[in-house]
Chains A and B, each alone.
Chain A
Amino acid sequence: MICRNIIRSKILARIQVRCYSDVGSSKKTPLYNLHEKYGGKLVDFAGFLLPVQYSDMTVSASHLFTRNSGSIFDVSHMLQTSVSGKDCIPWFESICPVDLQGMSDGSSSLTVFLNQKGGIIDDLIVTRVSEKQLYIVSNAGRLDVDKSHMIETSEMYRKKNKDISIDFFDVTQRGLIAVQGPKAVQNIQRLTDTPLENLYFMTSRLGSVAGVDCRITRCGYTGEDGVEISIPAEKTERVTEALLLSDDIKLAGLGARDSLRLEAGLCLYGNDIDEGVTPVEANLTWLIAKRRRGEANFPGAEIILRQIKEGVTKRRVGVRMETGAPARKGALLKSLNGEVIGNVTSGCPSPSLGGNVAMGYILEQFKKVSTEINVNIRNKDSPCKVAKMPFVPSKYYVKK
């Protein structure tokens, strides 16, 4: 019943483009006018007006266009934060299990804010700009939580006369676009003198794009090669329009972003990870850096290190259905004997593969790839299999 209600609210919120949260109070990103111009179907997403799709393409077509050519996603809603001060690295390592000390300047990493129980407060990308400066991109849905978490924890550091200062960029100050797909980087290269052939996956640098000073980070949320470009708000539209002059690049919305990230096996905060799960349960154990395991001084270290050593009872896995109805959030996973062994946290039809893809949590003894299980959709059990993620091979530009 809960599942049904979720599905229904999804329909209302997403299909009929109804926004029960007050659209009038939703914030506009620097690309709001551009979305209107290109026929974006705008909805409220985490308090921001963002396009689900654009009038020129269906979600599936836009998804496939991203995989075959290139798409621009407005991700200005995400929280961009700049941290400076000579103690910024020790402070940041006190709230995340990342090894910033061991990273070189200009490199980035996925990491998580952890609570004292090892639960995930948010996932984020941190860039070590220098020994004294960090650049962070975290989720819009966790904007307030992230802000107060960073303020409170840094406050404690400052009381010990440590040097840290935090600048949150408001959506009126900075825009952020993700340009993703096999033809994304070659099209950006035409607009910048910065050589992109040595900007590898998870590295970041400042550069001018279409005559505008930006930060370019080789990362994304689609599994494709691509970058995210942080741009002064008033010039975000100019850079985006310059990229759109190419036939290789089109705008894509939240719909395609969701199905692309699912095929890439990437988590959506609030669906696939939250404060109730640890990185070990979320199959993100690799986020606990080797050095940090030795030091055991990140929040929830005791629990997380014990889980790494002794194992957990449930684990995030991929679920693949060749045919049938897609499993959505909340659908129950069952063993062939009919017992409930887990639940789906997100799922959708897969435009690239056909059939459906999903991810969810399953009891440890069922986590092995190819294990045959059932998923219950509208009171019907349908066969599916535990699957390796990413479902679609990643095309990251990694140094060989």
Chain B
Amino acid sequence: MTLQRCLYQVSKQLISQRFILQSSVRQVLCKISYKYSSNTEKKFSDRHEWVLVDKENIGTVGISKYAQESLGDVVFAQLPDPGMQLNAGDECGALESVKAASEIYSPVSGTVTEKNKEVEKKPGLINSSYYDKGWLFKLKLSKPEQLNNLMNEKQYEEFLQTDVEKDHT
């Protein structure tokens, strides 16, 4: 009996340790992957937003080249205010061109830390500098692992090709 109980205890410990180890290894790997890959490249959503995350876990969000081309001259930008809590996929603002209105969706979850006041004053920056000065807002990511659900630039290019083809058949 005693031996049995002892064996049971040991095996339970081992199992839980393995779990702890596994999860911590996973965490470390995750962190490494953000530090050395994710945060150096833009990630794209299927709704044509991009997000670029820095070492402090702050993501900068904008719209893709394709999106700004489709929209045409942006004449008005309504951006989310700092402090706003967003879930991935939440509608958080809108861009208006002569042609139409287009909602902005957050590609990741987090809390808005800053909006681009320059873009509010000069919405044309979204067309002229879509990957740089035309960013829309920044947010502190609450679920950085969501970045894995987004596409890198190459995948996004492929997505556009198939998506556009789909639209024309």
A residues at B contact (CB < 8 Å): 7-8, 10-11, 14-19, 23, 52-53, 58-61, 63, 255, 259, 324-326, 328, 348-349, 351, 378
Write out the residue numbers on chain B whose beta carbons fall within 8 Å of the beta carbon of A326.
75-76, 96, 101
Q: Is the CB of A17 within 8 A of B70?
A: yes
Q: Is the CB of B98 within 8 A of A348?
A: yes
- Among A16, A19, A59, A324, the most chain B Cβ lie within 10 Å of the Cβ of A16
> Given A16-B167, A17-B167, A255–B78 Cβ distance below 8 Å?
no
A58 to B72, CA, bound (A): 6
> Given A19-B167, A23-B168, A255-B98, A58–B103 Cβ distance below 8 Å?
no
Q: Would you give the shortest CB distance from A67 to chain B, in whole angstroms?
A: 13
B129 contacts the other chain (CB 8 A)? no
Write out the residue numbers on chain B whose beta carbons fall within 8 Å of the beta carbon of A8.
103
Write out the residue numbers on chain B whose beta carbons fall within 8 Å of the beta carbon of A17.
70, 167
* A7 nearest in chain B by CB position: B101
* B102 nearest in chain A by CB position: A11
A11 to B97, CA, bound (A): 11
Write out the residue numbers on chain B whose beta carbons fall within 8 Å of the beta carbon of A59.
72-73, 97-99
Q: How many A-B residue pairs have CB under 8 A?
A: 67
Partner of B70, one of A16, A23, A325: A16
Q: Is the CB of B102 within 8 A of A349?
A: no
* B101 nearest in chain A by CB position: A7
Q: Is the CB of A15 within 8 A of B70?
A: yes
Q: Would you give the shortest CB distance from B81 to chain A, in whole angstroms?
A: 12
Write out the residue numbers on chain A whose beta carbons fall within 8 Å of the beta carbon of B102.
11, 15
* A24 nearest in chain B by CB position: B169
B residues at A contact (CB < 8 Å): 70-73, 75-76, 78, 94, 96-103, 167-168
Write out the residue numbers on chain A whose beta carbons fall within 8 Å of the beta carbon of B78.
325, 378
A324 to B77, CA, bound (A): 9
Partner of B98, one of A11, A18, A19, A63: A63
* B127 nearest in chain A by CB position: A58
Q: Is the CB of B100 within 8 A of A11?
A: yes
Q: Is the CB of A53 within 8 A of B96?
A: no
Contacts A/B (CB < 8 Å), 30 sampled: A8-B103, A10-B101, A11-B103, A14-B99, A14-B100, A16-B70, A16-B167, A17-B167, A19-B167, A52-B99, A58-B73, A59-B72, A59-B97, A59-B99, A60-B73, A60-B98, A255-B98, A324-B76, A325-B78, A325-B94, A325-B96, A325-B101, A326-B96, A326-B101, A328-B100, A328-B101, A348-B99, A349-B76, A349-B96, A378-B78
> Given A23-B168, A324-B76, A259–B101 Cβ distance below 8 Å?
no
* A20 nearest in chain B by CB position: B167
Q: Would you give the shortest CB distance from A377 to chain B, in whole angstroms?
A: 9
Q: Is the CB of B70 within 8 A of A349?
A: no
The 4 closest A-B pairs by CB, nearest first: A349-B75, A59-B98, A60-B73, A18-B167
A252 to B167, CA, bound (A): 23
Q: Would you give the shortest CB distance from A259 to chain B, in whole angstroms?
A: 5
Q: Is the CB of B100 within 8 A of A7?
A: yes
Q: Would you give the shortest CB distance from A250 to chain B, in whole angstroms?
A: 16
Write out the residue numbers on chain A whose beta carbons fall within 8 Å of the beta carbon of B99.
14-15, 52-53, 59, 255, 348
> Given A15-B71, A17-B70, A17-B167, A259–B98 Cβ distance below 8 Å?
yes
| Contacts beyond the supplied A7-B101, A16-B70, A325-B76: 14 A-B pairs with Cβ under 8 Å | A7-B100, A7-B103, A8-B103, A11-B100, A11-B101, A14-B100, A15-B102, A60-B98, A63-B98, A325-B94, A328-B100, A349-B76, A351-B98, A378-B78
Write out the residue numbers on chain A whose beta carbons fall within 8 Å of the beta carbon of B94.
325, 378
Write out the residue numbers on chain B whose beta carbons fall within 8 Å of the beta carbon of A23.
168
* A355 nearest in chain B by CB position: B75
Q: Would you give the shortest CB distance from B80 to chain A, in whole angstroms?
A: 12
A63 to B75, CA, bound (A): 14
* B166 nearest in chain A by CB position: A18
Q: Is the CB of A60 within 8 A of B72?
A: yes
Q: Would you give the shortest CB distance from A382 to chain B, in whole angstroms?
A: 10
Write out the residue numbers on chain A whose beta carbons fall within 8 Å of the beta carbon of B73.
58-61
* A354 nearest in chain B by CB position: B75
Q: Would you give the shortest CB distance from A102 to chain B, in whole angstroms?
A: 40
A14 to B97, CA, bound (A): 11
Q: Would you give the shortest CB distance from A294 to chain B, in whole angstroms?
A: 44
Write out the residue numbers on chain A whose beta carbons fall within 8 Å of the beta carbon of B100.
7, 10-11, 14-15, 328
Q: Would you give the shortest CB distance from B65 to chain A, in whole angstroms?
A: 14
